[in-house]
Amino acid sequence: MSTTTKSKNLVKVSVSDFPTFDGNQKNWKPFKREVTSTMGLLQLTSLLSVTKLTDIPGYTAKTISDPLYKTRNQEFYSILSKKLAKGNAASKVDAHLATMDGALVWKDMCDYYDFGGDKESRITSLIGDLTKHFLHPESHGGFDSYHNLFVEKCLELDNAGIKVPPAIQKTLFLEGIKDRAYEAVKDSCTSIDYDTAVDKLRTKAIALGKANSRSTTRKSNNRRNNNHNTNSNSQNSNQSNFKGDTSGTNPSGFSEQVWNDMSPANRKWIMEMKKEKGRIDYGQQYSTADRQSNNMNTSDQSDHDHQEQQEDSKSVSFADQ
């Protein structure tokens, strides 16, 4: 990032230092991470802290009492307006044109994109992912990829207000490892906590050369392997981390041994989450009109392109909070 310090409390940053966002859900996390980082360097993360309706009164009072803060907020709005101009998120900016309120634009974007649309549906999907997240011998990315995706799902649930207890995390994490090479280490993790278990398993993965393997086998695509129990659910090595497992004979979906070894509290938590997932799945509806409502008119794209080349060279001055 290119910045020039003008004085103790003034930092200059180019508009081009902020990323663009096309409104595509898969690009939201990198965009949010980069904007958060840039605003952090400018000590302006308070503009990103309006995350719920109860935050608005206090925030509004600050914009009234602090003219400089209001100016910074309007400059943030201008940056978002430019960086979202060509994508389906442009309507989020247009909704606050009258006030040029960047903080509220950011809140609306987080509300819409953080959970991929409907929050309850996203929670359902995340719970399903955790119970179907497996590490097979041929899983792409090896143990590190398995662990990273598992942590991401737990953090997303946490952000959605669903805290996965550490004991449940350990149970799900161990049960998801289907590679027999880890069996002995898994058995030794019964009496230790989740973090220690992860450390032990990663040590084993490194010893096996499977910590972050990129040369995963694709034999699971061959017919000759269709009868192999370990690979029978895997059609593509890049997607083998998320597969269903119906081997359990109890309602939980886990093997009888794992289910019996769980504490009553763990069993109760899992069954409640599965019950909630089923309830939401039964009534889940998707609206094509909603997905299309934010599509923007692209007839003036050439004008935007010309303006972008000129405006990216401009700078916006931010004052530290």
Under-50 pLDDT residues of the chain: 1-9, 215-240, 242-249, 280-306, 309-321
| Residue pLDDT, tens place only, 6-54 | 434 455 667 888 999 999 988 998 999 999 999 988 888 889 988 777 8
Show the CA angle centred on residue 30, arms to residues 25 and 35, nearest 5°. Answer: 110
Reduce the DSSP state of residue 14 to 3 states and report it.
strand
pLDDT of residue 247: 44
Max CA-CA distance within the chain? 72
d(CA 180, CA 70): 59
- Indicate the burial class of 3 (C-beta count within 10 angstroms; 0-12, 13-18, 19 or more): middle
Entry pTM: 0.51
- What confidence score (pLDDT) does residue 281 get? 46
From 222, 224, 217, select the one nearest 238 (Cα to Cα).
217
Which element (helix H / strand E) includes 191? none
Q: Tokens representing 264?
A: 């009553």
pLDDT at 32: 94
Domain boundaries, the chain: 3-114, 119-283
